[in-house]
Structure 1
C-alpha cells in the first residue's frame, strides 16, 4: 500500500522537477541570446563610428601630407605627426574605442 502511494508522488515530483529544469534552461538560453544580440548591435554601432572617423582621418590633409610627401624636413614631419596624434586622441575620446 505504501508503494502504491509513493509511486504517484515520486512520478509527480520527477515530472515537476523536469519541467522546472526545462523552463530554466529555456530562460537562460533566451537571456543569453538577448545579451548576444545586444552585444552585436553595440559592436556594429562601434564599427560604424570607427569607420566614419577613420574615413575622415584618411582624407585629412595632414595624413596625406605625412604619407605622400617624403621631401619634408624632420621638423615638419614631427609637427605633422603630432597633429595627427592629437586628432587621433580627440577621435578616441569622442567614442568608446581606443587607439
Structure 2
C-alpha cells in the first residue's frame, strides 16, 4: 500500500465532510504544519473550498474527479492537467 508515504490521513467518516475545514486542520495539527506552510492538491471543488476554509493554498488538478472548467470556478494558486505538470510545479514552487 501507500500508507508508508503518508504521516497522517483523514476521511469524511472521521469527522465533518468537505468543505468543512476540520479534516485539514486536524492533519496540520497532527503533523505540526502551519496553514501558511501547507498546500492542498485537489481534484474537486470541495477540495478547493476545504483549503480556502482552512486558510491553506490549493493547487487544482483536472486529471481527477472534476474537469478544468468546473475547477476554474474556485480559487487556486495554480492549475494542473497532469501529474507531470504537478511534479514540475512542485519542484519549482515547493
| TM-score range relative to shorter protein | under 0.3
More helix by share: 1
Give the TM-score normalised by the residue count of structure 1.
0.21
More strand by share: 2
Max radius of gyration: which structure? 1
